[in-house]
Amino acid sequence: ASAASTLGAAAAESGRYFGAATNSFMLNRQPHATVLNREFNSIVAENEMKWYHTEPNQNQFNFTAGDQLIAHARARGMTVRGHTLVWHAQQPQWAQNMSGTALRNAMINHINRVAGHWRGQIHSWDVVNEAFADGGSGGRRDSNLQRTGNDWIEVAFRTARAADPNAKLCYNDYNTDGINAKSTGIYNMVRDFKARGVPIDCVGLQSHLGTSLDPTYQQNIQRFADLGVDVQITELDIQQGGNQANMYGQVTRACLAVARCTGITVWGVLDPDSWRTGAN
Ligand code: G3I
């Protein structure tokens, strides 16, 4: 919470948003709620806007939890990030079992219905999450979505633009925090999208970090910004260790140094709620 105060003050002073991942069932639980409402001006659902949650059975949609988060945010003047329209993980079982044209059409329908339901209420959507492979290839990750054809990402972005024309459309990934083969693969995709007029507005650097920060972190933010997209730090959390507080500072300063780095979101509010249960 004290790191959040410092980060949030810096972000807010500069006009950037400062967000936290949360869940609808935590909105009234203390001390989570007090810290969330006091320190943050943006929220994102840690899980409740994902495919398995919003469309548990094909064409049967569940927007209850997402609606609650949005109502909470709107009542307090907070903005909402949407996470995430399409991802290889946390798909409902019916989609996991699908392939080819049926899956492609299901993806398009999902984006239309979900982005359409929350049209006008989402600051930024993670349209596609984690589609690139780890390691040195710089290529796509294999998945049922990737096997529908390499154009699945641009189809997702075009569909999202039509469904919610005012949301910023982001590509979001991890292990992309410095300049490396994976972030360069994404960089090349964004450059290609901009050249061909495929709608994309932002790149999310998740920033799940260990005990040191890649020295090219700021340079990496800058090179994406130079392509004409915003950069958002979307899932920041840093492993405990001697360098933790210093690293939160480094990340914040790197974002503040780049005009198109428009916001920082931390992945959870309090240690006991973190998905990284082994590390404070
Ligand atoms: O809701 C069920 C509950 O009913 C069941 O009893 C329990 C038993 O395992 O599982 C609960 O679901 C869990 C869900 O979180 C909600 O708590 C899932 O098992 C668990 O896998 C899921 O983990 C989430 C993870 O994404 C899934 O991949 C984490 O909370 C969430 O923080 C994490 O977030 C991801 C981002 O979306 C993308 N970037 C990486 C980030 C961290 O992995």
Ligand 1 site, residue 275, Cβ cutoff 6 A: yes
Q: Are 43 and 20 in contact (CB under 8 A)?
A: yes
Give Cα separations from 175 to 11, 123, 130, 182 (angstroms): 23, 24, 10, 7
pTM: 0.96
- Is the pLDDT score of 1 beyond 60? no
The tokens for 217 are 């972190």
- Is the pLDDT score of 6 beyond 90? no
Instruction: Encode pLDDT of 9-56 as tens digits.
Output: 777 788 899 999 999 999 999 999 999 999 999 999 999 999 999 999
pLDDT reported for residue 14:
83
Give 106 Cα–ligand 1 centroid separation in angstroms: 23
39 is catalytic: no
Instruction: Encode pLDDT of 193-220 as tens digits.
Output: 999 999 999 999 999 999 999 999 999 9
> Alpha-carbon distance 163 to 108, whole Å?
10
pLDDT reported for residue 2:
62
Ligand 1 site, residue 46, Cβ cutoff 6 A: yes
pLDDT reported for residue 102:
98
Q: Are 56 and 93 in contact (CB under 8 A)?
A: no
130 is catalytic: yes
The tokens for 233 are 């730090």
pLDDT reported for residue 201:
98
Ligand 1 site, residue 56, Cβ cutoff 6 A: no
Strand partners, 207: none
- Coil, helix or strand at residue 123: coil
H/E segment holding residue 64: helix 64-75
